[in-house]
Amino acid sequence: MTDPVIHDIDNGIAWVRFNRPEKRNCMNPALNRQMMDVLRELEFREDVGVLVLSGEGTAWSAGMDLKEYFRETEVQGLGAVRKAQSESYGWWRKLRWYQKPTIAMVNGWCFGGGYGPLFACDLAFAADEAQFGLSEINWGILPGGGATKVVADLLSMRDAMYHALTGEMIDGRKAAEWKLVNESVPLAQLRDRVTEVARVLLQKNPVALKATKDAVRRVQEMTYDNAEDYLVRAQEAANFYDDGGRKEGIRQFIDEKTYKPGLGAYDKTRA
């Protein structure tokens, strides 16, 4: 059988792809289990600095497989349902707190459950031609699996309500306008744009990248004072793991004057 998840590595970028194009890459239990295995395999590889999640064919992911994830699981009872939920939510959670920076490259359809891994990625870029939708309302349920939380966090209240209550699709341009994704470009330019951003990330200090992406997610739910305290401690922890890298960046800026922090990263290969 064809693997439901495929990946390859090119110059520090791991290109991970949903691989059920005939099903518009909807997520079934087999895909969810293999995706967790792939994420674990890639997370601490030294030849991987950035992970990009995309889809084969015309879709990114059309959400959960209604037949395999819902109907066939539900007839097996509550235990099977909870197991399937744990497998899907589990790899989304791993992706949210992944060791490496992650980018969602939304090349086509992104529906319902697809909003879970979309939100889990640190950055998201879409094709203008991509289609986004919370279609749950059209078949009689609420947007579960975290999808309601995703739109409530990323969109304005009015846009989130409209998106969830109507079930209407929006394209990549509208998704960028609503800030569901960072940016939208024509499909023919999508991979080049994502590669460009990934290469920028590859130049950064990997310890600082991990600390920064965690900090952005954590402080959203903190008061200012709590966030201030957390960030002091987080910086101290990052220094413990990579104080040499930080000092090298300061040395290159102050002593050598070989770079300007506002214009680019220091040369981490010399740390």
List the domain boundaries for the chain.
5-202, 206-270
Q: What is the pLDDT of residues 179-237, one digit of tens each?
A: 999 999 999 999 999 999 999 999 999 999 999 999 999 999 999 999 999 999 999 98
Tell me the mean pLDDT in the region 21-48: 96
Distance (Å) of CA 8 to CA 36, 48, 50: 16, 10, 12
- Helix, strand or coil for residue 118? helix
pTM of the model: 0.93
Q: What are phi and psi of 19, to 5 degrees?
A: -130, 55
pLDDT, position 231: 94
- Helix, strand or coil for residue 15? strand
> Which bin fits 167, alpha (ψ -120 to 50), beta or left (φ > 0)?
left
pLDDT, position 1: 67
Query: What secondary structure letter does DSSP report for 1?
Result: -
Q: Which CATH number fits domain 5-202: 3.90.226.10, 1.10.8.60, 1.10.3720.10, 3.40.50.1820?
A: 3.90.226.10
Tell me the mean pLDDT in the region 67-90: 82
Burial class (CB in 10 A: 0-12, 13-18, 19+), 141: exposed
Tokens 């004057």 sit at which residue? 257
